[in-house]
């Protein structure tokens, strides 16, 4: 058995690509537009997985964008996606500067949670040992649910 991808339906493709690619740093591996079915599939991979994903099509996140408007419910019941980051403080700062709320700040230098534009919970974990606690993260309270 081999893990292939996780599919997430998105309402606003531009906002989702901005979040996942420009703010989180994922890269587009491939795209499939189906005019008859009126949907697009965009497969993304983390930078460290990008080369493998180009060769094997895995592991990826599949953003499914239906061209006709739909209202998707849920998010929390999905659980979360998790990404290992080189510097959790820098990653959170990039997201925050991009207008993303840090729902669970990295007060411990190890873990943080944010939400995608479609309310998918995203966990960020510090690579290696936790970084020493530092401001402004140390004093930030949780916001919303994560």
Residue 80 among known ligand-binding residues = yes
Residue 70 among known ligand-binding residues = no
123 annotated active-site: yes
Which of 22, 35, 123, 135 is catalytic? The answer is: 123
User: SS3 string of the chain?
Assistant: CCCCEEEEEECCHHHHHHHHHHHCCCEEEEEEEECCCCEEEEEEECHHHHHHHHHHCCCEEEEEEECCCCCCCCCHHHCEEEEEECCHHHHHHHHHHCCCCEEECCCCCCEEEEECCCCCEEEEEECCCCCCCCCCHHHCCCCCCC
Residue 123 among known ligand-binding residues = yes
- Known binding-site residues for Zn(2+) equal 62, 80, 123
- Known binding-site residues equal 62, 80, 123
**Residues carrying an active site annotation:** 123
């Amino acid at each position: 058995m081999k893990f292939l991808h996780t599919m997430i339906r998105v309402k606003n493709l531009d906002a989702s690509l901005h979040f996942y690619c420009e703010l989180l740093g994922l890269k587009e591996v491939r795209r499939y537009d189906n005019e008859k079915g009126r949907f697009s599939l965009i497969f993304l991979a983390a930078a460290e997985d990008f080369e493998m994903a180009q060769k094997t099509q895995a592991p990826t996140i599949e953003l499914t964008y239906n061209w006709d408007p739909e209202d998707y419910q849920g998010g929390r019941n999905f659980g979360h996606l998790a990404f290992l980051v080189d510097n959790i403080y820098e990653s959170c700062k990039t997201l925050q500067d991009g207008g993303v709320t840090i729902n669970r700040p990295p007060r411990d230098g190890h873990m943080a949670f944010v939400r995608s534009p479609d309310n998918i919970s995203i966990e960020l974990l510090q690579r290696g040992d936790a970084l020493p606690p530092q401001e402004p993260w140390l004093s930030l309270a949780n916001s919303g649910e994560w």
